[in-house]
Structure 1
């Protein structure tokens, strides 16, 4: 298939190709979350304290945010399929470093490399929108993001299970090999996708600042999602610490199974994408903000009850995905000619929020334990809710102005 024909036929991305992209996104994104269920085992293996091991969570997310800012915009310059393949191979190399690390420094270096290049997932997301049939961009993005979300959520359970079978590093070794196999599959099975007018790299980076200045919807949606993910990251950065401590004292595998409760959030992804196509995103945004805020109450009780912790994780992830998928689907449709750059700005803010949340979570844990972490997480959720409501009000106002101008 030629490059021109791939651009001329937006419906060329069939269901099997979308499924492959969803699995690839899940593998790339999920690899950054293995350590969250393994922090205690990692600390014991390298002889460091829990706080030092917890820094690997922040490092992975900071590296991912840097990759989003400086690498994913290249999707508006280079051919996207080839770019995704190269990034996945480099991420696989990072996982190999972690899986066979002989020191804590090597472990952290591999974590950084894997996080930086796992942004292959965010090359595939705008690619799914670019190759969608008219009116189906939200559906395509929702389906691919479902795979990404399932990968993130399953990652902790898979990491815990493989840790029980062969040690904490087995999951990284398996992922390194799987990354290579997935990259080969993508190179053979996906169509090509290229921006109609490739831009020089410097111009790509400069234009991102211009997009942030000139697109209020991009700023509002990015801020709301960043605060929401920061709130969730407080929980995930400290989850293994509280669940492995008295009185619960869960194993790595049990901690991974608790995190699996959030997989229901992936069910929201397709709904959110479809609702975004139908213009029903405001209702889902409000519901997501309320769910995120309320989730911290059962999580507070979860320090002494696995059942309450599971309820909290379930409600929290439903809330986060309602906000994120709705916002990202909308971002993908704002300026079709700048999809990769718009997505890069949004996702950079999103994971910058996650990095800040992880750091705040570890700080709050060291300062006041689980109660401190819950207090910080709930505060961030409240800020996210305020931001969501501001964005909804702004969208309503813009819609009224547009209606008046067209009347």
Structure 2
């Protein structure tokens, strides 16, 4: 895959996911304008996550049935419609409908990642997933900067209008620039693919990586869905545009972890996960100092987003290498954990902050991170034989053999003992 196509796929991911998180820096004015009580403003973000969850189950499996290129374009167009509805809403329920629709079809992100994985040779799969997935984090965090800036000038509605226009433009570019993804075998039927999703949850590799993602993104959501609240309060009393600028620090950390895909290609996915989760816990020690220091907050944000992106990329690398014939389904099912975790973080942090202040939110985020590390550590203590190690690093071994001109038979299979 050339640089131009990788960049386009990363932008698609960024714009699609930005619609879910655009509300984070403007929760207070958005909730006030729509008549949503302060203690329930977390649901503005969580609504998009609920729609996202539904899309993961019902829409992402279509990627294993239909041409992913056309599917990406259609989903982008419908996402634009949802964001347009949110931008023009005069009542809370109308905005929630628009946000839910935009969230449901924002699963175009998973179809895009699946497309990148399916058209990549094994030696480059981790690298391409890392680059494309970086667009997701850029979208999540960049949305804060863009939304905050636009809200300060034209109000919060302008951000959703801009995202709608960008989504439509990208839908056209996808059809023009990307080739169809050719598949060596006829795709299974939609019903068969959806029914088979249940079997993934009984596989140890998938369940372990999914639980790590659940706690990982609960910790991530605790920070980014709750950060605007203490920054808007005394002693800082920052405007929406200044609050949004903190997303730049997150971008620095997330982009710094783009190399995680290459680490995974080199067979270091498991130790990288453990190290990153340890850093995630430590980041909260700095983030919790927000009432006293903005500089420590910035350091904590960079470390947190580096850790989150590194774990997220290695998770997806391991799962797509283990299921090369059902990439869309496995990524979509994995992201169910992501969606649930993000929704939990978004709703819990506003409630905890209201009751216990930022110290409570800090403990909450660190607790989620510790749970993720515990899941990883528990699995890492399980004995693994050479066959398990071979399955875990199948993408790396296949890449090396291809470079040496060897002919490898068979495909990568999931091994429930692999972590």
> What's the TM-score once normalised by structure 1's chain length?
0.92
Q: CA deviation at 1:69?
A: 1.8
Match for residue 218 of structure 1 among 206, 209, 214: 206
Does the 8 Å contact 2:257/2:306 carry over to 1? no
Paired with 1:401 and 1:144, the residues of 2 have a C-alpha distance of 28
Match for residue 397 of structure 1 among 375, 384, 397: 384
Q: Does 1:205 align with 2:166?
A: no
Residue of structure 2 equivalent to 1:251: 239
Residue of structure 2 equivalent to 1:53: 41
Q: Which structure shows the higher helix fraction?
A: 1
Q: Which moved more, 1:303-312 or 1:97-106?
A: 303-312
User: What does the per-residue CA deviation read over 1:130-171, in whole Å, with 9 as the maximum and x for residues that have no partner?
Assistant: 101231111111110112221211110010011112111111
RMSD of Structure 2 on Structure 1 (CA): 1.6
Q: Does 1:177 align with 2:162?
A: no
Match for residue 304 of structure 1 among 292, 298, 310: 292
Q: Does 1:130 align with 2:130?
A: no
Residue of structure 2 equivalent to 1:8: none
Q: CA deviation at 1:20?
A: 0.6
Q: CA deviation at 1:402?
A: 5.8
Paired with 2:287 and 2:19, the residues of 1 have a C-alpha distance of 25
Q: Does 1:192 align with 2:180?
A: yes
Paired with 2:170 and 2:388, the residues of 1 have a C-alpha distance of 47
Residue of structure 2 equivalent to 1:367: 355
Does the 8 Å contact 2:257/2:307 carry over to 1? no
Q: Does 1:313 align with 2:324?
A: no
Paired with 2:5 and 2:321, the residues of 1 have a C-alpha distance of 21
Q: CA deviation at 1:338?
A: 1.2
User: What does the per-residue CA deviation read over 1:110-141, in whole Å, with 9 as the maximum and x for residues that have no partner?
Assistant: 11111111111110101101101231111111
Runs of 4+ residues over 3 Å off in structure 1: 391-394, 398-403
Match for residue 89 of structure 2 among 67, 87, 101: 101
Paired with 2:214 and 2:332, the residues of 1 have a C-alpha distance of 13
Q: CA deviation at 1:400?
A: 6.7
Q: Does 1:33 align with 2:21?
A: yes
Q: Which moved more, 1:86-95 or 1:140-149?
A: 140-149
Paired with 1:128 and 1:82, the residues of 2 have a C-alpha distance of 14
Does the 8 Å contact 1:34/1:156 carry over to 2? yes
Paired with 2:385 and 2:73, the residues of 1 have a C-alpha distance of 40
Does the 8 Å contact 1:80/1:123 carry over to 2? yes
Q: Which moved more, 1:285-294 or 1:357-366?
A: 357-366
Residue of structure 1 equivalent to 2:80: 92
Paired with 1:202 and 1:93, the residues of 2 have a C-alpha distance of 27
Does the 8 Å contact 1:295/1:312 carry over to 2? yes
Does the 8 Å contact 1:247/1:304 carry over to 2? no
Match for residue 16 of structure 1 among 4, 29, 34: 4
Paired with 1:16 and 1:392, the residues of 2 have a C-alpha distance of 38
Stretches of structure 2 lacking an aligned partner (at least 5 in a row): 391-419
Q: CA deviation at 1:398?
A: 4.3
Does the 8 Å contact 1:72/1:340 carry over to 2? yes
> What's the TM-score once normalised by structure 2's chain length?
0.89
Change (3 A) 1:402 1:382: closer
Residue of structure 2 equivalent to 1:349: 337
Instruction: Work out the number of aligned pairs and report it.
Output: 389
Paired with 1:210 and 1:144, the residues of 2 have a C-alpha distance of 27
Paired with 1:224 and 1:281, the residues of 2 have a C-alpha distance of 13
Does the 8 Å contact 2:222/2:345 carry over to 1? yes
Paired with 1:250 and 1:47, the residues of 2 have a C-alpha distance of 22
Change (3 A) 1:56 1:398: farther
User: What does the per-residue CA deviation read over 1:45-74, in whole Å, with 9 as the maximum and x for residues that have no partner?
Assistant: 223332232211111112112211221111
Secondary structure, in 3 states, of the residue corresponding to 1:397? coil
